[in-house]
Structure 1
Amino acid sequence: MRLLPRSIAILFGTLLSILCLVPLAQAFETAAREAILVDFETGSVLFEKNANKPMPPASMSKIMTSYMVFDRLDEGRLSLDDKLPVSEKAWRKGGSKMFVEVGEEVSVANLLRGVIVQSGNDACIVLAEGISGSEQAFAREMTEKGREIGLQNSTFTNATGWPDPDHRMSARDLATLARRVIEDFPEYYEIYSETEFTWNDIRQGNRNPLLYRNIGADGLKTGHTEEAGYGLTASAVQNGQRLIMVVTGLDSVNQRAEEADRLLSWGFREFENFNLAQQGEPIDEATVWLGAEDTVPLVTQKDLVVTLPHAARDELNARIVYDGPVPAPIQEGQSIGTLILSAPDMPEQEIQLVAGKSVEQAGLFGRLFAAGKYLAFGSP
């Protein structure tokens, strides 16, 4: 284990003088049965309540239905202009509807808006049947893709979120899925911000209440069944910071809107992202054994950004851990150690550090000299 050298301690000390760190478990309470608030850029969880509990997601699982369509569009296996036939099963499906007519063919572009803006169960089934042949086959593919992208507590039995005891997601999985949609398919994500869509002369508004409030919201999806209660998976941007939020199990449309707004507003008010180091910027150096150089710089593979509460003082600790000295030869980009950031009542954040450049093995004379030095002084 190795503490930061003085030069690095000064760097972090300067940052700490403007930071104020308080426990994440500070005073925020919500009526939501399950909830989570995540910073988009860093993935830091700012608040959670029963976030890993599998629960009925209702129409929020349509985010996964849309993800499946986006994925095929991205791979070129599907086009926005492709038209898919409306089956009697899709036409007869109850609940929220796009109001497609049996026998007509509807473009993928319109069906996506039917799913995302209008929450149409019929549109979901048309897409599922058109892509996989049946809704059941599509649901199996949803579950498989979910595992692939990191949804650990999600199982899908249909494309709509229709009540089923085996159709489950967790709040954390919904947040993960929302993040993946935004990261993987920014060109399609903008559909989630559309506030209305008209099909067959029936105009319907987007059910996401946050789109109509001046808080920077631009997605994603509401959900409601008797078992699930009222839920919302949402994302918003303020001052360049994006947060993702999930709330479920609420009692009414109004409570859903108020709790979602309150949780997001709290997150933006209390937390901020800080860039501690740039990609490739030396953070420390590691001692090299039998190398052409005595040390190798340690760098991060991407910008080092952390999410911290606004009100801090000097509670952030930083230390570097690596097994050293590191034997040469060393390749640039080789994993060397870990930067660990910690503070009271906060989970530790671990950032991988790699070699900032290659270091060749020393020549014969250099290796003999190093061995002699070790025998004489007991250290490389």
Structure 2
Amino acid sequence: MRLSLPSMLAFGLALVFSVVQASAFETRARAAFVMDQTTGTVLLNKNADEALPPASMSKLMTLLMAFEAVRDGRLTMQETLPVSQHAMSYGGSTMFLDTTDRVSVEDLLRGIIVLSGNDACAVIAETLSPDGTEAGFARLMTRRARQLGMTNSTFANSNGWPAPGHRMSMRDLVLLANTLITDFPEFYPMFSETQFAFDGRAPQNVNNRNPLLKLDIGADGLKTGHTQEAGYGLVGSARQGNRRVIFAISGLDSERARAEVSEQIVSWAFRQFSEITLAREGQRIADAKVWMGKSPRVGLVPAEDIDVLLPVLAQGKVQGEVVYNGPLQAPITAGQELAELVLMPEDLPEMRIPLVAEVDVPLGGFGVRINTAVTTFSGQFTATDTPQVEVSQ
């Protein structure tokens, strides 16, 4: 059943939405995914589910598994780990470890985050691998990724070194970044560190490659990546006020292009969209018919404030409707989820927001049941609600 919103609410919405269309953002990246973390709104999707070589951006998965191991007590930040010949053999970006080293977990984590150390990833991988090999850890990474809903990620190693079948999508990288930010606030500040001079042994590799960290735009993570096959990419995040934006891009042709596109995305995401409180917790959005209830109708309310993100530049309109399977069957308990508020802003994905019962509606007495049976038999208990509402200024 679809309900029009009550006229008073529609009037309120007309005042709140100063209407909603933003020009589509064009990017040079081969693939991109941009999400407003605060509301969960997808702002940009360009080939976001294509499985691509992620280069060093896949190190975020190794970091997640290391953080989980520390949280679970399988690793401690202070313990030192040996460096194998295999770990030492990696080229590219490294901490310049050798087999005589024993390195603390804390230094290894910073070596991965700030220095993008291929060797540091392999040390962590061999320590946590079920069979002591990096390949075994890569299989574990793939399995864990599936558990997290990362359906387009398959790992062949711990660090993104070019290998057949080592792939991730931009959507998966944003999901992974969101998990790191949300679940591990105690470790996340390491992603904003701009330098790490491990043991003084590699002065040519002490700087974080994330180009956004030196800009005053709220950037605080996460990881760059580059190989000849993958091009230049970045998983980034920035926070301004109460909003956080997370994005992943790949396939750019230079460091400069990566820096320019990343800054453009952050600026666009914060300036072209604004967060709006559509309705407060407990505010009645609509009411629905109740079958066999002591009351013939029940109010439908949000269980928490409804905050949505909408474009702010151009004139437009927002369509919305309340959807539920009705009439609803009594008894109903206050707070019971009964319906959805479906919003359809232009140029953004459909938004579905749960609505719950405003109050208890107990089962009606004998007289109510008889009356319902009579009205049903006579065809009077039918849906008469109009299907849709359009809100505009």
Q: Give the corresponding residue for 1:109.
A: 106
In 2: Cα distance, 1:259 partner to 1:314 partner: 28
Structure 1 window deviating more from structure 2 (158-167 vs 353-362): it is 353-362
Post-superposition offset of 1:182: 0.9
Match of 1:220 among 210, 219, 222: 222
Write the letter of the residue equivalent to 1:13. A
Is 2:16 the partner of 1:15?
yes
Q: List aligned pairs for 1:1-40, cutoff 5 A.
A: 1-16=2-17, 19-22=18-21, 26-40=23-37
Higher RCO (CA 8 Å, separation ≥ 6 residues)? 2
Match of 1:232 among 231, 234, 250: 234
Write the letter of the residue equivalent to 1:82. E
Structure 1 contact 100–200 (Cα < 8 Å) conserved = no
User: 1:115-152: per-residue Cα shift (whole Å, max 9, x none)?
Assistant: 10110011101101111122111111111111111212
Post-superposition offset of 1:238: 1.7
Q: Give the corresponding residue for 1:287.
A: 289
Write the letter of the residue equivalent to 1:157. A
Structure 1 window deviating more from structure 2 (100-109 vs 141-150): it is 100-109
Q: List aligned pairs for 1:357-376, cutoff 5 A.
A: 357-375=359-377
In 2: Cα distance, 1:137 partner to 1:82 partner: 22
In 1: Cα distance, 2:304 partner to 2:102 partner: 46
User: 1:201-248: per-residue Cα shift (whole Å, max 9, x none)?
Assistant: 135011101001111100000000000111111001123221112121
In 2: Cα distance, 1:13 partner to 1:312 partner: 15
In 1: Cα distance, 2:61 partner to 2:89 partner: 22
Structure 1 contact 124–160 (Cα < 8 Å) conserved = yes
Match of 2:40 among 37, 40, 43: 43
Is 2:128 the partner of 1:131?
yes
Match of 2:75 among 59, 65, 78: 78
Structure 1 window deviating more from structure 2 (112-121 vs 262-271): it is 262-271
Write the letter of the residue equivalent to 1:257. A
Post-superposition offset of 1:8: 2.3
Structure 2 contact 331–361 (Cα < 8 Å) conserved = yes
Structure 1 contact 283–297 (Cα < 8 Å) conserved = yes
Q: Give the corresponding residue for 2:207.
A: 205
Q: Give the corresponding residue for 1:262.
A: 264
Is 2:95 the partner of 1:95?
no
In 2: Cα distance, 1:379 partner to 1:223 partner: 62
For residue 125 of structure 1, give the secondary structure of its aligned residue in structure 2: helix
The share of aligned pairs that are identical, in percent, is 47
In 2: Cα distance, 1:83 partner to 1:345 partner: 51
Distance 1:295 1:73, change over 3 A: farther
Q: Give the corresponding residue for 2:381.
A: 379
Structure 1 contact 192–220 (Cα < 8 Å) conserved = yes
In 1: Cα distance, 2:325 partner to 2:39 partner: 27
Write the letter of the residue equivalent to 1:303. D
Is 2:165 the partner of 1:163?
no
Write the letter of the residue equivalent to 1:172. R
Q: How many residues matched?
A: 376
Post-superposition offset of 1:54: 0.8
User: 1:272-326: per-residue Cα shift (whole Å, max 9, x none)?
Assistant: 1112123444322222111122222223344322111112545012210112220
For residue 190 of structure 1, give the secondary structure of its aligned residue in structure 2: helix
Is 2:116 the partner of 1:119?
yes
Q: Give the corresponding residue for 1:352.
A: 354
Q: Give the corresponding residue for 1:179.
A: 178
Structure 1 window deviating more from structure 2 (190-199 vs 273-282): it is 273-282
Compute the TM-score of the two structures, normalised by the length of structure 2: 0.91
Structure 1 window deviating more from structure 2 (313-322 vs 292-301): it is 292-301
User: 1:31-57: per-residue Cα shift (whole Å, max 9, x none)?
Assistant: 211112211112212122211111100
Instruction: List gaps (5 residues or longer) in structure 2.
Output: 383-393
Post-superposition offset of 1:345: 4.1
Match of 1:56 among 43, 53, 75: 53
Distance 1:9 1:96, change over 3 A: same
For residue 49 of structure 2, give the secondary structure of its aligned residue in structure 1: coil
Q: Give the corresponding residue for 2:388.
A: none
For residue 316 of structure 1, give the secondary structure of its aligned residue in structure 2: strand
In 2: Cα distance, 1:27 partner to 1:54 partner: 23
Q: Give the corresponding residue for 2:139.
A: 140
Compute the TM-score of the two structures, normalised by the length of structure 1: 0.94
In 2: Cα distance, 1:280 partner to 1:110 partner: 49
Structure 1 window deviating more from structure 2 (332-341 vs 246-255): it is 332-341
Structure 1 window deviating more from structure 2 (237-246 vs 331-340): it is 331-340
User: 1:68-120: per-residue Cα shift (whole Å, max 9, x none)?
Assistant: 11122222332212222111111121111112231422221111101101100
For residue 218 of structure 1, give the secondary structure of its aligned residue in structure 2: strand
